[in-house]
């Protein structure tokens, strides 16, 4: 990770989200980017051309997990939605609850720092060799063993789930290059819980060893030297825990209140299931089908069509190509217009329908951070995209109930995958 200085405010870079593709599956992964922990201005001015569904009151129930936008366990995060996850040795009461886990609708699977984990979990093996995973992102990676845990969130439980325990350095032959996010400082969190649109983190692209090279069989658990790429069946891959819940397993809803000014923290909910209980109905939200091979839909902005666009709670800003001036103090990771810009973009399902218009604002990131040194919540934070797409990050979620339906799952809005809002 990097460090950055914005005027008098200095803090570490933490995370935003970007995506890469492995085989025929979009692999939602974490990417390093600029995240100073202050803000200013306020009010995203977000709306749709038709009235947005009114967010429902804070839900309660066994399928509701509290989330909080705050500075995170590294004390330097902006627009990061965190929660706690309980993991257990499978089939036992030997459990541990880990706080400061980033909620990420743009990836699939639970990933925990080894330094945050204190209970022994069962190691997955292939031909008697420990299995490791290398998960690449734009400028870095996570590496670590694939182990098995029972996962509990709210009143939901997924049993014997393959997860990644982040530790160590990836082999030089892997796709993982750049920075190694294996500490709280470098990751900005104690882990990531990926509750995105796919049941696994890789899919068919990893069921044979080859170009993907995400999974490895290693000679021992002590070193990555001599590791060889291995095939992983769908069931052996790191899993979206929601898809393995006994009920409420067809998707999630992220519910966060509107933001009209910078705030130190923001409380919301991660609701499991779509249309499975009285507290998780679609409530008039528009369903946007996404491509089953890439997990993307279309955004049109400033006359350009970005058909690799996505909605992602793990991104700390809106990321998109633009001629808006980029910050100098923060390198090229955020935009710094001379005055706040009020913009709009249209979104469409992967097949062209339905369509909607999103209004949003972009403020000067240097001013946001320097003028509000105790804030962690900003609705007007945006930056350039490095992958020619429109990334609707966490600011998009403020004031909306955003639904993420899992691939192949039946819901009142149709079969996943889709987003709805």
pLDDT tens sequence across 194-239: 999 999 999 998 998 776 679 999 987 666 678 999 999 999 999 9
**Domains of the chain by range and CATH?**
3-420 (2.40.70.10)
- Residues 135 and 387: their CA atoms lie apart, in Å, by 17
Residue 107 and residue 30 in contact, taking contact as beta carbons nearer than 8 Å:
yes
The secondary structure element, H or E, covering residue 369 is helix 365-371
Predicted confidence band of residue 139 (pLDDT cuts 50, 70, 90): low
Of 307, 406, 404, nearest to 352 by C-alpha is 307
Strands 341-348, 297-301: pairing kind: antiparallel
| pTM metric for this prediction | 0.88
Examine the pLDDT at 24 and tell me if it is beyond 80. Answer: no
- pLDDT digit string (tens) for 67-116? 999 999 999 999 999 999 999 999 999 999 999 999 999 999 999 999 99
Tokens of 170: 């990836």
Sequence-distant (6+) residues with CB within 8 A of 101 are 82, 83, 84, 85, 110, 112, 189, 190, 191, 192, 193
pLDDT in tens, 368-409: 999 999 999 999 999 999 788 999 999 999 999 999 999 999
Ranking 55-59, 195-199, 257-261, 351-355 by mean pLDDT, the lowest is 55-59
Token pair of 346 as six digits: 């249209």
The whole-angstrom separation of Cα 177 and Cα 370 is 32
Q: What is the pLDDT of residue 171?
A: 85
Does residue 40 register a pLDDT over 60? no
């Amino acid at each position: 990770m990097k460090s950055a200085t914005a005027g008098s405010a200095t803090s570490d870079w933490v995370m935003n989200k970007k995506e890469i593709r492995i085989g025929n599956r979009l692999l939602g992964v974490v990417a390093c980017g600029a995240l100073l922990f202050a803000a200013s201005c306020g009010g995203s001015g977000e709306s749709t051309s038709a009235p947005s569904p009114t967010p429902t009151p804070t839900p309660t129930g066994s399928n509701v997990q509290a989330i909080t936008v705050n500075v995170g366990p590294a004390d330097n995060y902006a627009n990061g939605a965190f929660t706690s996850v309980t993991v257990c040795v499978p089939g036992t009461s030997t459990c541990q609850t880990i706080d400061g886990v980033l909620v990420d609708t743009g990836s699939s699977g639970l990933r925990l720092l080894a330094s945050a984990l204190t209970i022994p979990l069962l190691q997955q093996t292939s031909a008697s060799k420990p299995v490791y995973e290398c998960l690449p992102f734009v400028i870095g990676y996570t590496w670590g063993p694939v182990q098995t845990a029972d996962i509990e969130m709210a009143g939901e439980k997924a049993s014997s789930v393959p997860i990644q325990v982040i530790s160590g350095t990836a082999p030089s032959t892997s796709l993982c290059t750049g920075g190694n996010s294996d500490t709280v400082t470098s990751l900005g969190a104690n882990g990531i819980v990926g509750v995105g649109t796919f049941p696994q983190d890789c899919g068919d692209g990893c069921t044979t060893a080859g170009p993907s090279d995400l999974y490895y069989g290693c000679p021992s658990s002590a070193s990555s030297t001599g590791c060889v790429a291995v095939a992983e069946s769908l069931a052996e891959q790191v899993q979206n825990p929601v898809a393995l819940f006994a009920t409420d397993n067809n998707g999630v809803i992220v519910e966060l209140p509107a933001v009209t000014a910078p705030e130190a923290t923001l409380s919301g909910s991660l609701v499991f299931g779509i249309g499975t209980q009285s507290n998780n109905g679609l409530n008039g939200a528009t369903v946007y089908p996404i491509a089953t091979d890439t997990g993307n839909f279309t955004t049109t902005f400033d006359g350009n069509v970005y058909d690799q666009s996505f909605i992602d709670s793990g991104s700390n800003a809106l990321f998109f190509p633009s001629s808006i001036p980029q910050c100098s103090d923060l390198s090229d990771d955020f935009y710094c217009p001379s005055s706040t810009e009020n913009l709009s973009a249209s979104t469409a399902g992967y097949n062209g329908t339905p369509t909607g218009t999103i209004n949003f604002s972009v403020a000067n990131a240097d001013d946001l951070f320097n003028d509000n040194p105790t804030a962690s919540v900003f609705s007007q934070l945006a930056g350039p995209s490095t992958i020619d797409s429109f990334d609707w990050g966490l600011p998009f979620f403020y004031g909306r109930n955003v639904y993420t339906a899992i691939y192949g799952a039946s819901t009142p809005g149709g079969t996943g995958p889709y987003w709805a809002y």
